[in-house]
């Protein structure tokens, strides 16, 4: 057996072996009491937009694509989800202090205006997650309403 074939066989064996090391799934299956929808009024449009464009990385309930079962892709996705939830977790929004909620709402507004969210790599694969101009307007209106409510409620 040639040296190249041996290396390919070893690489294939490693690839098969790593398939048995699956990352934990981000799927609670429940709406937590601290979920943003329990804290702020979300219209049906806002809920749908957040669901399709944000919740996979920024909530406790990710809808996983088929390729998440293939390693190392699954590990990479799990890392993105962990980082996304560390930056903003809509499922835990009610646990944030008022100041932090205000900062997160401002960050959402900035991310929409800067077109940094959803990530281009995400929208490349999930075409329906890209924000249309109408989606952006709906979200920005909601964010501004939520920020105003937060600053006036004491």
- Please, is 153 exposed, middle or buried when counting C-beta atoms within 10 Å of its C-beta (0-12, 13-18, 19+)? exposed
Cα–Cα distance for residue pair 48/55, rounded to 1 Å: 10
What are 27's strand-pairing partners?
Answer: 61
Instruction: State pTM to two decimals.
Output: 0.84
Q: How far is CA 102 from the centre of its chain?
A: 19
Q: Which tens digit of pLDDT belongs to each residue from 102-143?
A: 999 999 999 999 989 998 888 888 899 999 999 999 999 999
């Amino acid at each position: 057996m040639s040296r190249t074939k041996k290396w390919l066989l070893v690489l294939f064996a490693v690839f098969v072996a790593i398939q048995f090391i699956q990352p934990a799934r981000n799927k609670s299956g429940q709406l937590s009491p601290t979920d943003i929808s329990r804290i702020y009024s979300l219209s049906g449009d806002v809920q749908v937009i957040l669901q399709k464009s944000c919740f996979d990385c920024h909530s406790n309930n990710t809808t996983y694509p088929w390729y998440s079962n293939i390693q190392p892709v699954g590990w990479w996705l799990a890392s993105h989800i962990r980082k996304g939830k560390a930056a903003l977790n809509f499922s835990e929004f009610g646990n944030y202090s008022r100041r932090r909620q205000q900062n997160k709402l401002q960050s959402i507004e900035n991310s929409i205006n800067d077109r940094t969210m959803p990530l281009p790599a995400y929208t490349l694969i999930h075409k329906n997650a890209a924000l249309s101009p109408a989606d952006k307007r709906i979200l920005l209106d909601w964010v501004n309403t939520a920020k105003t409510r937060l600053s006036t409620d004491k």
